Amino acid sequence: MAWRSMVPNGYLLDQFFTDYTNLRSDKWGGDIAGRLTLSLAVIKAVRARVGAEVPVGIRISQGKVNDFFHKWANGEQDARVVFTLLAESGIDYLHLTEFEAWQPAFSGNSLSLVALARKYAPDLPIMANGSLHEPQRAQDMIALGADFIALGRGALANHNWPKRVKDGQPLNPFDSSLLGPIADIKDSELPE
């Protein structure tokens, strides 16, 4: 079965969703619900194209590729709006990613983004991602409401992560040189 997922987190949908990159004042901008409008329209179009037999989901993050710690301005109120609208959109799953997924999503609120999604979209399957390569952290996220765990660095370092964890084998540390070279923008590439 094929899966379709719209992946923000630095891409066009995320640029529309993010407050400091979407400065529009029309229906595609404004508050967090307005900035989510493009993602909701894409979900509707994808669902119309692939039908009900193909699972459709979306990946949402507060953080950005170049701004790991970005937060939604209105905290839990924004989380309620986002997760309610996504639950009503017809997606089959929600893929949440944070730099450290187990951390509280907002200052002054002990709930992680996964826990907030579970609170406001209780029936939606949730996939959690974000530094969950330590087995205990992954188990904690399941306990907080995630249905699935997605790994990046942990899977790159341990192609057989589930088997190693199941068998109690030690995990290989992540070697960051796997991601190099990094395509940083040099000062000489910036306009004067």
pLDDT greater at residue 192 or residue 160: 160
pLDDT greater at residue 5 or residue 93: 93
Dist. CA 41–CA 151, nearest whole Å: 28
Q: What are phi and psi of 64, to 5 degrees?
A: -120, 165
pLDDT greater at residue 85 or residue 15: 85
Check whether 102 has a pLDDT greater than 80.
yes
Tell me what pLDDT residue 10 has.
Answer: 55
Dist. CA 96–CA 107, nearest whole Å: 18
Tell me what pLDDT residue 67 has.
Answer: 80
Per-residue model confidence as pLDDT tens digits over 123-182: 999 999 999 999 999 999 999 999 999 999 999 999 999 999 999 999 999 988 887 777
Burial (0-12, 13-18, 19+ Cβ within 10 Å), 158? buried
